[in-house]
């Protein structure tokens, strides 16, 4: 651990070439409505899960929460915080036993469900090498995803009415290479980041693309693509538990530069 901290401190202190590179604050508002697939099977926190968000619950896009971001991008480092959220709804008659947080819905039960996420992102980018029009560096940050799922089911055969809900937060380190460019006198700014982790067969893969175009010197449009994939194969990190979650989509927004 001490060696890792020392290495990161050394990277942050490395001299870099910074001739004319961007040095700005950015504020943005954006909308992101990704597709969502996922599953959970096994026992965690003393409660059983056996559910597929698509096949069992039929979850689809419902609405998005307007997101925002604030960041500083300079010749030596970048620091950014952003937040956004989405909600999904489903109405499906299950064809097999489905269990959510210890509550089981029998086949033929009509289940109405919601799935909500709020994503908080904090990222520090160390720019290891910088030229006037491009740079290369490394990301160090954390992404905390708050998840809330609820379901209501009515069994038409037994007449049973059952409700289930689950809330939790999943913090994931964001570590990986990053690069960017500046073109047309600062009116076009692009960035690519790839955060990747693996541990005992469990993997997290999160590439992003970010493009900003400024028709005005201080106001522009933001387009970004985000692909987040989390996989915890059976018995990889937790015995008897298997889970996965995939989110991907394209976001749009307005961004101010000063």
The CATH number given to whatever domain includes residue 49 is 2.40.128.90
Q: What is the pLDDT at residue 154?
A: 86
Domain count, the chain: 1
241 φ, ψ (degrees, to nearest 5) = -130, 135
Q: Cβ–Cβ contacts within 10 Å for residue 116, how many?
A: 18
Q: What is the pLDDT at residue 21?
A: 61
Q: What is the pLDDT at residue 6?
A: 46
Map tokens 């749009």 to a residue: 252
Q: What is the pLDDT at residue 189?
A: 96
How far apart CA 103 and CA 99 sit, in angstroms, is: 5
How far apart CA 61 and CA 47 sit, in angstroms, is: 27
Non-local (6+) Cβ contacts of 99 within 8 A are 48, 49, 50, 51, 105
Kindly provide the b/e burial profile for residues 74-93, where b requires at least 16 CB atoms within 10 angstroms of the residue's own CB.
bbbebebebbbbbbbbbebe
Q: What is the pLDDT at residue 194?
A: 97
What burial class does residue 157 get, using C-beta atoms within 10 Å of its C-beta: 0-12 exposed, 13-18 middle, 19+ buried?
exposed
Q: What is the pLDDT at residue 67?
A: 96
Q: What is the pLDDT at residue 159?
A: 77
255 φ, ψ (degrees, to nearest 5) = -135, 135
Strand partners, 210: 191, 224
Name the residue among 52, 11, 115, 76 with its Cα closest to residue 244: 52
How far apart CA 213 and CA 188 sit, in angstroms, is: 5
Residue ranges making up the domain that contains 172 = 2-257
Note whether 177 and 206 are within 8 A (CB). Answer: no
Non-local (6+) Cβ contacts of 212 within 8 A are 26, 188, 189, 190, 220, 221, 222, 223, 255
96, two tokens? 């097999």
pTM of the model: 0.84
- Residue-wise pLDDT for 106-130, tens only, equals 999 999 999 999 999 999 999 999 9
Residue ranges for the chain with pLDDT beneath 70 = 1-21
- Residue-wise pLDDT for 42-84, tens only, equals 998 788 999 999 999 999 999 888 999 999 999 899 999 999 9
Note whether 78 and 92 are within 8 A (CB). Answer: no
CA atoms within 13 A on the CB side of 24: 16
41-43-47-53 Cα dihedral, nearest 10 degrees: -10
3-state secondary structure of 255: strand
Q: What is the pLDDT at residue 165?
A: 94
């Amino acid at each position: 651990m001490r060696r890792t901290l020392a290495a990161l401190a050394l990277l942050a202190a490395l001299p870099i070439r910074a001739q004319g590179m961007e040095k700005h604050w950015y504020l943005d508002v954006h909308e992101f409505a990704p597709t969502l697939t996922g599953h959970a099977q096994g026992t965690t926190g003393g409660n059983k899960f056996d559910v597929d968000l698509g096949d069992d619950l039929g979850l689809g896009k419902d609405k998005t929460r307007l997101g925002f971001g604030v960041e500083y991008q300079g010749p030596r480092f970048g620091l950014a915080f952003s937040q956004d959220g989405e909600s999904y709804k489903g109405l499906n008659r299950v064809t097999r036993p489905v269990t959510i947080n210890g509550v089981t819905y029998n086949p033929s039960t009509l289940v109405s469900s919601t799935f909500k996420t709020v994503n908080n992102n904090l990222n520090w980018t160390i720019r290891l090498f910088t030229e006037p029009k491009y740079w290369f560096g490394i990301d160090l940050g954390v992404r905390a995803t708050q998840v809330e799922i609820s379901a209501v089911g009515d069994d038409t055969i037994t007449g049973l009415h059952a409700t289930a809900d689950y809330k939790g937060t999943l913090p994931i380190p964001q570590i990986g290479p990053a690069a960017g460019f500046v073109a047309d006198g600062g009116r076009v700014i692009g960035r690519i980041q790839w955060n990747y982790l693996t541990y005992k067969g469990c993997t997290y893969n999160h590439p992003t693309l970010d493009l900003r175009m400024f028709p005005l010197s201080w106001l522009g449009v933001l387009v970004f693509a985000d692909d987040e994939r989390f996989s915890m194969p059976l018995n990889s990190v937790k015995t008897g538990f298997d889970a996965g979650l995939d989110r991907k989509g394209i976001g749009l927004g307005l961004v101010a530069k000063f």
